Amino acid sequence: MDLWIQPCADCFELYGLPSAHRPHDKLTLNSRGAVKDERAEEHYTCVRCRAAFARVLAGEPRKQIWLLLNAGQH
């Protein structure tokens, strides 16, 4: 597993945006989550800063955002 990372500028901008927003060009798709109980996610990793993102594509609209999974933040 990756340690906590400092997101690069592109990741920092993407974090928290609606999932309709396109991934930036340093993100690579890891896996496409199985659709289950109306939930669907895509997981991405940034090749520059190793940030791990979950792109939430289903569920409540307010939760359909880009989640940054491994950055230290509060």
| Contact status: 14 vs Zn ion (CB under 5 A) | no
Sort 37 into a burial class: Cβ within 10 Å, 0-12 / 13-18 / 19+: exposed
| Contact status: 51 vs Zn ion (CB under 5 A) | yes
Among residues 8, 40, 57, 67, the one that binds Zn ion under rule CB under 5 A: 8
Q: Which residue has the tokens 């955002």?
A: 65
Sequence-distant (6+) residues with CB within 8 A of 62 are none
| Contact status: 65 vs Zn ion (CB under 5 A) | no
| Contact status: 5 vs Zn ion (CB under 5 A) | no
| Contact status: 48 vs Zn ion (CB under 5 A) | yes
